[in-house]
Structure 1
Amino acid sequence: MDKHEEKKLEEFVDRIMADAPLESPSVDFTKNLMQKIEVQSHQEAFQYKPIMSRSVLVGLFVAFSVLMGYVISQYGLGDGTGWFDKITWEPNFKPLWGWLENYTSSKVWVYAVLLFGFLFFVQVPWLKKHMDRTALLK
């Protein structure tokens, strides 16, 4: 744009602005605004919403009760032996931990695990102190 067009555009904007009436807020503008701010500030930031609805909880309770009734009816409570005695369960940890019998690790690996473990337990108090300083936990 050259200077002549800019000058015309400026004159046009000045004429429009001169014709436009000045708008002023109402007399009770501040009062109305403060009332709206107070209403918004009193609203809760977080609304409690349960993870599971009431019907789901009732359904889970009924299913658990039916399951307990079935277990009691199958195994009984008063025959003297107890229904826990009829459950046979023998823990066998040999297949799970058998591979550790011949396992050896290098010193570098052991030192790395110890170093990272130490650094983890140093980092946690340091982060807590940092968050306390920045007032995130207050």
Structure 2
Amino acid sequence: MEWTERLLADPALPRAFLGWLIFVNSLAVFFFFRHFAARAVLAVWLANLALVAAALGGGMAALSHALFWTPLLVWLVWRNPQFRPGSPLGLWLVAVFASNLVGLAASYAVLLAGHGNGAAMLAGL
């Protein structure tokens, strides 16, 4: 698939971490019908992929990630959904939030350092 190749070609984050983000965000399909947070995560995830694939191309995943995931993570904290941390939904939401928070920190580091084209700056991460 072309969108995975474009995401994995971005040197801002290691391939293994990008693979993890793809995996954990894609798990939203299992909670889609019963939980609004899962629908929001899936919508943002698909919009992010569409923007990277269509408009931004390789090397701009940091900007796309920052544009879409910052509002979603703020919303998840603000909304503070009631869930049991030991439930499958709770474990997934914690994994989504923590993983994307790390990804956002890396995206902002790339953008603030002036490497908006995705230049490798976090190779040691």
Greater helix share, 1 or 2?
A: 2
Interval of TM-score (by shorter of Structure 1 and Structure 2): under 0.3
TM-score w.r.t. length of structure 1: 0.21
Q: Flag the structure with larger Rg.
A: 1
Give the TM-score of the pair, scaled to structure 2.
Answer: 0.23
